Amino acid sequence: MYEVGIIGGGAAGLAAALELSRRRISSAVIDSGRHIGGLSRDLCCKANPVCQRCDACSPVDIRREVRKSPFVTLLSDSEVINVRGIPGSYVLSVQSSSGLSEIEVKAVIIAIGSPTFDAAIDARYRYSDCADVLTSRDLETMMISNDIHMPSTGKAPSSLAVIQCVGSRDAKHGAPYCSKVCCKYSLKLVKRIRKELPGIEVTFFYRDWRPSDRGYDKLAEYGREDGVHVVRSRPAEVIADSRPLVRYATVEDEVREDPFDIVVLAVGLQPPPNSQKFAASLGLQCNQYGFFIKKGEGAYAAGCCTGPKDIRESVEEGIAAAGKAAAFLEGLH
Ligand code: SF4
Ligand code: SF4
């Protein structure tokens, strides 16, 4: 029996566990991934070499603290497949490699994050069949191992295009909202890449620039640097050739095709696929896209499963949810 069950061990879930621990409240963090840490585990440090405040290291620091706490139990590779009960007395059915078990808790914090858009769904960008078309997450993985290369040849690229808003601001794919994080992450990622590969030419294709971070709002200014180009256009498609060709219309309505060594798709954030199921059993609601609405009694949602947000905001929401859960538990006594 734990006081709080935290479903999801990403930035928000870990921050909630740490905050509860500081209040001497026990919690179990249950995560379906092999390792606790969520999406932020796959993000590289963007220091170039100055820290760019990407916050990728923040969940690592929080996890280190959480691991030391006697009030927190971390359960990875464990999936909550069902929740039943009422505020003050919930039972979580948890499937893991050792079988099915039940965990009793008094309150629940749901922090299951949000997956990134599956770029293969939008066939225009040739993610499935053009080796040198990558997602921003693929590029992060390369950066973590310090090995930026063209998958088709294994060689370092000399040119790179970033296409913004892939799977976001796109009603056709059910995501007309802005994913909020991809503008600033793309820019921070590119600044780090240009430190690793100083001669690389980078072109941003963007529709709007919404970085939500001071200091990262001046794309046009960055575009005046040698080797950086900014094009206000949403490319119509990528054409698979010996090098991927980006076809786009200029502001003068001229159609152009430019070749690049690598095309990076800045994929947006999607609602969690199982949000409706959890919402029904926890008395929560979802908005029209499937993100949780935060209000609840005894059950609280935090982090990207309530809508796109960056790591810092997710941590803040996790702490706030822990505060609400603590107040709820106090009211039970
Ligand atoms: S905040 Fe980001 S850039 Fe700064 S040290 Fe941490 S991971 Fe690196
Ligand atoms: S943050 Fe930028 S790239 Fe992401 S959806 Fe919004 S405008 Fe597009």
Q: How far is CA 3 from the centre of its chain?
A: 28
Q: Please indicate, yes or no, whether residues 128 and 242 belong to a single structural domain of this protein.
A: yes
Residue 213 pLDDT: 65
How confident is the prediction along the chain (333 residues), in pLDDT tens digits per residue? 899 999 999 999 999 999 999 999 999 999 999 888 888 788 889 888 889 888 989 999 999 999 999 999 999 999 999 999 999 999 999 999 999 999 999 999 999 999 999 999 999 999 999 999 999 999 999 999 989 999 999 999 999 999 999 999 988 888 999 999 999 889 889 989 999 999 999 999 998 887 666 666 677 777 778 889 999 887 789 998 889 999 999 888 899 999 999 999 999 999 999 899 999 999 999 999 999 996 778 999 999 999 999 999 999 999 999 999 999 999 887
Taking alpha carbons only, the member of 318, 323, 322 closest to residue 303 is 318
Rounded Cα gap, residues 24 and 17, in angstroms? 10
Domain end point (choices 248, 267, 286) = 267
- Kindly provide the ipTM of the predicted complex, given to two decimals: 0.95
Q: Please indicate, yes or no, whether residues 181 and 242 belong to a single structural domain of this protein.
A: yes
Q: Please indicate, yes or no, whether residues 108 and 206 belong to a single structural domain of this protein.
A: no
Q: Which of 40, 41, 45, 311 to mutate to test the pocket of ligand 1 (most atoms within 8 A of CB)?
A: 45
Q: Please indicate, yes or no, whether residues 96 and 178 belong to a single structural domain of this protein.
A: no
Residue 253 pLDDT: 87
How many domains does the chain fold into?
A: 2
Q: Please indicate, yes or no, whether residues 236 and 181 belong to a single structural domain of this protein.
A: yes
Residue 208 pLDDT: 81
Find the ligand nearest to 169 CA.
2
| 146, burial (CB in 10 Å: exposed 0-12, middle 13-18, buried 19+) | exposed
Q: Please indicate, yes or no, whether residues 98 and 76 belong to a single structural domain of this protein.
A: yes
Q: Which ranges of the chain does DSSP label H, i.e. alpha helix?
A: 11-22, 58-68, 136-144, 182-196, 219-222, 275-282, 311-332
| 36, burial (CB in 10 Å: exposed 0-12, middle 13-18, buried 19+) | buried
Residue 222 pLDDT: 73
Q: Please indicate, yes or no, whether residues 100 and 124 belong to a single structural domain of this protein.
A: no
Domain end point (choices 221, 240, 267) = 267
Ligand 1 lined by 51 (C-beta under 6 Å): yes
Ligand 1 lined by 143 (C-beta under 6 Å): no
Q: Please indicate, yes or no, whether residues 28 and 62 belong to a single structural domain of this protein.
A: yes
| Domain ranges, residue 324 | 2-114+271-332
Other CB atoms within 10 Å distance of the CB of residue 169: 18
Residue 99 pLDDT: 95
Q: Please indicate, yes or no, whether residues 68 and 178 belong to a single structural domain of this protein.
A: no
For atom 2 of ligand 2, the residue with the nearest CA is 183
Q: Please indicate, yes or no, whether residues 66 and 123 belong to a single structural domain of this protein.
A: no
Rounded Cα gap, residues 164 and 246, in angstroms? 13
Q: Please indicate, yes or no, whether residues 144 and 256 belong to a single structural domain of this protein.
A: yes
Rounded Cα gap, residues 325 and 331, in angstroms? 10
| Pocket-forming residues, ligand 2, beta carbon under 6 Å | 164-165, 168-169, 178-180, 182-183, 208, 210, 266, 268
Which letter does DSSP use for residue 10 in this model? S
CATH number of the structural domain spanning residue 219? 3.50.50.60
Q: Is the dihedral of CA 299, 320, 37, 113 positive or negative?
A: positive
Atom of ligand 2 nearest to the CA of 266: 3
Q: For 116-167, what is each residue's pLDDT tens digit? A: 999 999 999 999 999 999 999 999 999 999 899 999 999 999 999 999 999 9
Q: Cβ neighbours of residue 116 under 8 Å, at least 6 residues apart?
A: 39, 135, 136, 137, 167, 267, 268, 269, 270
Q: Please indicate, yes or no, whether residues 50 and 96 belong to a single structural domain of this protein.
A: yes
Domain end point (choices 217, 237, 267) = 267
